[in-house]
Amino acid sequence: MVLFSRDDTHLLCDAALENFDPNMAFFATLRPDAFEPALAEMLTKNKQLREVTDVKSLDWEEGAYVMVLDSYRQAVDMRARIRRHWTANKHFDRLLWGHKHQSVLSVNSFRALDTTRILTAKTINADRLERRLVKNFPPDYLLNRIEGGKLSAVRGAFIATEVKRRQLLLSRDFEVPENCRGD
């Protein structure tokens, strides 16, 4: 367990809050008319992906999963982690990954009602499919902070070199479009 001083806690909290607004502004800059074609192209290249409406039916499935958050024009590639992301609280020291003006917002910042579609593919090679999905989908439309697949000990040692960053807008003078608001 990591213990933070009161000052460290305030600094981390301020940085995490400063990261949220620029991420929302980033989502607002993404063209809605470009997201759907990018998703359709990914589905064309990965015909085994199917939309599912009952998450309970996936409890035992080995495979790759994609959560789509249409309002934010984002997708997240996952493997059997959907409900955990909807309900888990991100550890305080993991809210940011990198600098506050470059950190991709954690998928744990979104909940079940933000998810508009779930796509899944049954496969025993989930890691390979997950890596391919992440690699072939435009990075602006992905909430993944790192490339997909299992995290081996060797890969874990070099994970900092893999972290996806965004150049976020620093202005607070933006209005979040109605379809990007989480209310």
Q: Between 7 and 170, where is the model more confident?
A: 7
Quote the pLDDT of residue 35: 92
Q: List the strands of the sheet with 74-78, edge to edge.
A: 50-52, 117-122, 63-69, 74-78
pLDDT confidence band for 159 (50 / 70 / 90): low
pLDDT (mean) for 139-150: 73
Q: Is 80:65 a contact under the CB 8 Å cutoff?
A: yes
Query: Does the residue 118 lie in any domain?
Result: yes
Quote the pLDDT of residue 44: 92
Q: Does the reported pTM lie above 0.75?
A: no
pLDDT (mean) for 171-178: 53
Query: Does the residue 1 lie in any domain?
Result: no
Within 10 Å of residue 52's Cβ, how many Cβ atoms? 16
Query: Does the residue 110 lie in any domain?
Result: yes
Quote the pLDDT of residue 131: 81
Task: Retrieve residue 106's tokens.
Answer: 């954690």
Q: Domain containing 83: what range? A: 6-180
pLDDT (mean) for 15-34: 86
Query: Does the residue 13 lie in any domain?
Result: yes
Per the prediction, the chain carries an average pLDDT of 76
Answer yes or no: is pLDDT of 30 > 70: yes
Query: Does the residue 161 lie in any domain?
Result: yes
Q: Between 58 and 18, where is the model more confident?
A: 18
Quote the pLDDT of residue 38: 92
Cα Rg of the chain (Å, integer): 17
Quote the pLDDT of residue 41: 92
